[in-house]
Amino acid sequence: MRRNGVWRGALVGVAVAGMVGLQGCGQVETAGQAMPVGHDSMARAGSAGAQWLTYGGTKDEQRHSRLSRINTGNVGKLGVAWTYELSTGRGVEATPIVADGVMYVTSAWSVLHALDARTGRELWVYDPEVDRAVGAKACCDVVNRGVAIRDGVVFLGVLDGRLEALDAKTGRLLWSVVTVDQAKPYTITGAPRVIRDMVLIGNGGAELGVRGYLSAYDVKDGRLRWRFYTVPNPDKRPDGAASDEALARLANPSWGDRGAWKRDGGGGTVWDAIVHDEVNDQVIFGVGNGSPWNAAIRDPDGRGDNLFVSSIVAVDADTGRYRWHYQTTPRDNWDYTATQTLILADLPLGPNGAARRVVMQAPKNGFFYVLDARTGALISGDAFVPMTWATGLDARGRPIETADARYGDESRLMMPGPLGAHNWHPMAYSPDARLAFIPAQEVPQAMHRDLLMETRPVAWNTGVDFSSGFAPRLPDGTIKAVRAMMKGRLIAWDPVARRPRWTVEHDGPWNGGILSTAGGLVFQGTLKGDLVAYEAATGRRLWAMNLKSGIAAPPVTYELDGEQYVTVATGWGTAFALAAGFFFDREVPPALGRVVTFRLGGTGTIPDHDLPMIERRPKAPAFGDARLVEAGFRHYARSCAVCHGPLAISSGVLPDLRWSPVTADRAQWREVVLEGRLAGNGMVSFATQLTPDEAEAIRAYVLDRANNPSG
């Protein structure tokens, strides 16, 4: 652990899918006496004002600030107030928390930085010192979305499954609890939420095979208060948890008695959206995909909906006991998680236009849902992007699937693809404009059954063949054509009229989260590094600045000494960077993450990164016949593409294997791929997934791509 000083970690070069055994679950370590905890800070979080005290800005997670000193009339005068170097070349997804003049922002590997919110001066840094081999468990980069704060205590979820409480003034560790079985491929990337005297945290890992749940811990000492499992245990027996009754009555009958879920856990991880509905005294949370994705492999009996995967679930805030659920994607087959932003609001949808409390979500599957917050009843559900998997919702609110939606041994083009119509990037809601602002996208993917998964255990257990639709040698123009299919847009959605009021088209997908303000503004960063301010009423572009690095994180705003600031964390990386390097028509230059803060009249600058480019030259000639290269392509797609990029094209976050010196000879390649020579950097051994001949076939494919850059 390092704190009260400058943390400058080395850039991590490699991380791929795999599993590493660590510790057991449930141990609490106390490093000191926690500070007294009251209710003041959460009471001030009712609406985002001078401070930004919660992940979603307000208790209802609307990400709408009532600050208006920066507005449509003067936003053009925004300039840089200060910048801070996060010193990581991995993904940055954090929502900064601002309390009492201090900003708390996380970067890769769950490192927490405390900064003076006026100047960006570093106050302290806490590094939880995550074993870099744990990065192999992270499906979508070693990111962290932020912290929670409650009266002098900061709560941090750590990538390896720890939940920790820190003294907000000093960064001193107060207590630490392991929330998962660390022998399994669990991770934590989401932000905790504080509800009364409890801190809530979920987990991720369904791509690799785990069983999901949401846990509530006592803020004072880390004692477990309740836990809600989202899918049955393999024996369908009680867990002694808050979820027992709901699983026995609803979930257990919706799963068969055989299939990969019995071994791999079933999925349903709660890796992001959690909101406290104070009016109804309940916690509403989003549940992720099934594990494996492919329902025919996961649960071949096929007799039920596999509750509660891809669902919105409400539980009693005090006890965690089930209240209601709404499943957005029954028997999920496509990684259509329902973990995207959940927003509470009062809309004129009651009798005679009376206010009705609702919860809204735009999940991966492409429908915008409005539910009654008290009962979970569907009020409306409408497509906000084009889709090929469904034609609408039926009278019961179930998707009307197309004939080809349930892919099998033939490749099917799915829209949305697994990256979703809306991924983790937070949407916002303006109660002034009555608009929800969705960072939407179109990223189709060809999908068909992974036959190899049924013949051997794997780490990345989706049940989908990621080589589908491509060949080892691509005809010229293929990548350009695929790139043209990928789109991004900002949609101002009217949840009452059930249609977009305006839309802004982006250059591509995977753009940043949203901030809405009472100044009539909507802020969003883009994949290519522009922070943009739009007029909330019309979508008119009013101001923009390039921040010299891709922006996935959402902006926040706060006020100190009568001055309003806007802050966003930059940092290339995250799931899209790992999975879609081919999207870019030129090499992506290396860049480090930063925190960039603006104010009216700011005169600061954003420094260049000036990092060296990688030498793009094959380190050995191509070898092997067409059959060997074809086999290498299939194994690469299954074991390597998730981190190093489909088609062996990296975005620069992790090494582009085409230019790696490790490809130079068979012995060196084997040491890294099968013997784990670089495990300390996150590149664990793949000896349980690949035979020596299969590993060598992958090397043949990579060198073929390096020496024949077609497409």
The set of catalytic residues is 335
- Tokens found for residue 109: 């590997």
Cα dihedral 438, 441, 447, 453, rounded to 10, equals -60
312: number of Cβ within 10 Å = 24
Nearest to 105 by CA among 156, 152, 62, 66: 156
Query: Which residues in 590-686 belong to E strands, given as ranges?
Result: 594-600
Question: 3-state DSSP call for residue 666?
Answer: helix
- Tokens found for residue 262: 């019995």
- Tokens found for residue 469: 């639709």
300: number of Cβ within 10 Å = 15
Cis peptide before 416 (omega within 30 of 0): yes
Tokens 């490790």 label which residue?
662
In eight-state DSSP terms, residue 508 is S
53 CB burial (10 A radius; 0-12, 13-18, 19+): buried
Q: How far apart are CA 90 and CA 572, in angstroms?
A: 6
Q: How far apart are CA 204 and CA 271, in angstroms?
A: 5
| DSSP H/E element including 695 | helix 692-707
43 CB burial (10 A radius; 0-12, 13-18, 19+): exposed
**What's the N-to-C CA distance of the chain in angstroms?**
46
- Tokens found for residue 1: 């652990």
CA separation, residue 497 to residues 100, 326, 436, 605, 667 (Å): 40, 22, 12, 43, 63
Q: How far apart are CA 210 and CA 231, in angstroms?
A: 10
CA separation, residue 344 to residues 428, 492, 603 (Å): 11, 17, 38
Nearest to 421 by CA among 361, 363, 370: 363
- Tokens found for residue 111: 């490192």
